[in-house]
Structure 1
């Protein structure tokens, strides 16, 4: 919304509007109000590193008003309370002359915020004549976004424009044409690259949310395809795939196993394909009072040298460690990337609160079989620390994610080797599947535009988004 208020300010009912002033103290003579509403209306969550700006620039979007100066602005509405932290004094929010600067605000799908600004003409007109303002110029974009990644601008209007009427007539004509075609066309033909049959998707629980959404979307387009998602752990998924292939004897069983990281040795017939790049994060119970750990802190905690969070400046709460099963790809990535290859010790508790058996001492350690079970346990257990795939962790509001060495889990930080906790997600088949099989078709679906958007929407990234796309790992 961009509207003049000249008549109101000079009205006998103007009241407080007459007190509007520029930063230098001069009263506004030819003021106008602007209400900016910024919304993520796409299918992908936006992080601070996704804005198409230089890394050191705190500003994500600028809005320029030619011929006007900004007198003041205020953030009037945020869709979620956590967005308010993005507008503090150091965020980059501000204005200079006729330009409003908006910070790099992390926005989930559907999130929005509003900024109300008062402006004054750079050259106020004589005799109270109304000024025709030049349209504002919006500058900003998203790296790796859907389409061109550009910002789409809309404006509030009254009445129905000729363009809108023309569009309605055009759409009506299209609907009629489609109806005629549908009545004369054989609708039993399958869409391009559709395959039929049954396919089992197994393995990684961290990647399971992506697989559930992608398989449902594929089935919606290709209803003759049926999927079963049996997420267990990465290691179990690959072992079961290898066993199914050996039992079958020849050909490729209708199974795809997914793993966080490369397979173990001993499966020569199992072929791997990089699907995406998974970011992981440490998660901690809110009672711990910490949100930032160094690599050294993490190794000391898992070595049993830190037993209470107050030793790291947190609250007086005992440390409790929640781990995944030994076959978990997330656990393997944690041991490789954060513990330097050292294996986690075994568990000494089943409920993550009290030791199991006689003589159990040291930091309480327990394990859980799935990502969701681990997150539930960390959220419910005071002082608990665990690890998870990023998308599943950030969807929770009952626990906290942890920065590592001061770095958030972002693609840019991992791609620059500043954030260490990541892994390549691989898809495994027993031998090469036939080109027209449901197995091959679904693998192609995961690497096309729709599949890649689904991967992004869960906080992960397709290999094509990375600097080292061939190896699908940070440079």
Structure 2
């Protein structure tokens, strides 16, 4: 009796399982038909296979930039050119001097991509050119080491360069003739001294004229009793920078308005620059160059005088 009952119970259990399986199968088919559920449980959680967007690569800079003009600014522009070409092997940057006036005329005439200048461009060029201020350049009145004078007032300096004072003994030095070293008329350095020191007085025609800041420094260093003017990157051991009204040049003295002789260094373009010229100017004004190189080259940052 026990065995018979057990077989019957087992048969009933198997039948129930088969019925349940059929019902479940029908339920899945209905779900598929209605679109209420997926036949693959993993389909809703599978990761997307759409491709990711790769970051765009900056276009390679190519081309040629020509910069001419100020010999005072030339060391800074040349250093920037060297670094920029190292970073951009398909770019050529050519830097030449000639004086600020020459640089401004060259860029206005389309001869150069950039005109370098220690002074603001003349009115005749202003409508054509865009100004880019790239640095502040301290300038100094320099004398040969044998000159026993450490300081000049602005008036004394003006009187020396106008020819009113011709001997160092007239300003507290030894009895020695003053030898004037000038720059040519197109020089921004000359225009800077004319504006800040000469106060309208004309330069004496006596003396020797040099065509660059470098040759002025060399001439003063080798000529007894001489005086000249250069921006401070050109100071040498053979020359001495004078104080002006008892103030020596320094970053702080210029920022505080105590030292008068400095240039706001400009790089002019004819209208907005093309892509390669803009990239070069952007590099000069970059934090990397302004903080890393400008003061090492004895210039001061472009934003020094901004309030």
Q: Quickly name the TM-score band, shorter chain normalised.
A: 0.7 to 0.9
Q: Per-residue deviation at 1:420? A: 0.8
Q: Is 2:284 the counterpart of 1:446?
A: yes
d(CA) in 2 for partners of 1:381 and 1:193? 53
Q: Per-residue deviation at 1:194? A: 5.5
Q: Per-residue deviation at 1:199? A: 0.8
Asked if structure 2 preserves the Cα contact closer than 8 Å seen for 1:287 and 1:315, the reply is no
Q: Is 2:122 the counterpart of 1:264?
A: yes
Per the alignment, residue 369 of structure 1 pairs with 211
Asked if structure 1 preserves the Cα contact closer than 8 Å seen for 2:133 and 2:267, the reply is yes
Q: Is 2:245 the counterpart of 1:386?
A: no
Q: For residue 297 of structure 1, give the secondary structure of its aligned residue in structure 2.
A: helix
d(CA) in 2 for partners of 1:194 and 1:406? 52
Which structure ranks higher in relative contact order (CA pairs < 8 Å, sequence separation ≥ 6)? 2
Q: Per-residue deviation at 1:284? A: 0.1
Query: Structure 1's 265 and 315: CA in aligned 2 closer, same or farther, altered over 3 A?
Result: same
d(CA) in 2 for partners of 1:193 and 1:445? 16
Query: Structure 1's 318 and 242: CA in aligned 2 closer, same or farther, altered over 3 A?
Result: same
Per the alignment, residue 42 of structure 1 pairs with none
Q: Is 2:216 the counterpart of 1:329?
A: no
Q: What is the RMSD computed on CA atoms of the aligned residues?
A: 1.7
Query: Structure 1's 211 and 192: CA in aligned 2 closer, same or farther, altered over 3 A?
Result: farther
Q: Runs ≥4 in structure 1, deviation > 4 angstroms?
A: 191-194
Q: Is 2:301 the counterpart of 1:459?
A: no
Query: Structure 1's 401 and 192: CA in aligned 2 closer, same or farther, altered over 3 A?
Result: farther
Asked if structure 1 preserves the Cα contact closer than 8 Å seen for 2:141 and 2:227, the reply is yes
Q: Per-residue deviation at 1:463? A: 2.1
Larger Rg: 2
Correspondence for 2:246 among 406, 421, 424: 406
Q: Per-residue deviation at 1:192? A: 5.6
Q: Is 2:232 the counterpart of 1:232?
A: no
Asked if structure 2 preserves the Cα contact closer than 8 Å seen for 1:336 and 1:342, the reply is no
d(CA) in 2 for partners of 1:341 and 1:451? 37
- After TM superposition, the score normalised by the length of structure 2 is 0.77
d(CA) in 2 for partners of 1:194 and 1:228? 19
**Offset from partner CA, 1:199-218 (integer Å, 9 cap, x none):** 11111000101111110011
Query: Structure 1's 192 and 213: CA in aligned 2 closer, same or farther, altered over 3 A?
Result: farther
Q: Is 2:109 the counterpart of 1:243?
A: yes
Asked if structure 2 preserves the Cα contact closer than 8 Å seen for 1:319 and 1:385, the reply is yes
Number of residue pairs matched by the alignment: 249
Per the alignment, residue 319 of structure 1 pairs with 178
**Offset from partner CA, 1:353-403 (integer Å, 9 cap, x none):** xxxxxxxxxxx412100001111111111110000001211xx11111111
d(CA) in 2 for partners of 1:343 and 1:451? 38
Q: Structure 1: where are the runs of 5+ without partners?
A: 1-190, 246-253, 347-363, 469-475
Note the 1:62-81 alignment, pairs <5 A. none
Asked if structure 1 preserves the Cα contact closer than 8 Å seen for 2:255 and 2:304, the reply is no
Per the alignment, residue 418 of structure 1 pairs with 258
Asked if structure 1 preserves the Cα contact closer than 8 Å seen for 2:181 and 2:209, the reply is yes
**Offset from partner CA, 1:3-43 (integer Å, 9 cap, x none):** xxxxxxxxxxxxxxxxxxxxxxxxxxxxxxxxxxxxxxxxx
Q: Per-residue deviation at 1:464? A: 2.1
Per the alignment, residue 62 of structure 2 pairs with 196
Q: Per-residue deviation at 1:343? A: 3.4
Q: Is 2:159 the counterpart of 1:292?
A: no
**Offset from partner CA, 1:335-359 (integer Å, 9 cap, x none):** 101111333233xxxxxxxxxxxxx
Q: Per-residue deviation at 1:321? A: 0.7
Per the alignment, residue 37 of structure 2 pairs with none
Q: Is 2:46 the counterpart of 1:207?
A: no
Asked if structure 2 preserves the Cα contact closer than 8 Å seen for 1:322 and 1:386, the reply is yes
d(CA) in 1 for partners of 2:58 and 2:124? 37
Query: Structure 1's 338 and 200: CA in aligned 2 closer, same or farther, altered over 3 A?
Result: same
Q: For residue 92 of structure 2, give the secondary structure of its aligned residue in structure 1.
A: strand
Q: For residue 303 of structure 2, give the secondary structure of its aligned residue in structure 1.
A: helix
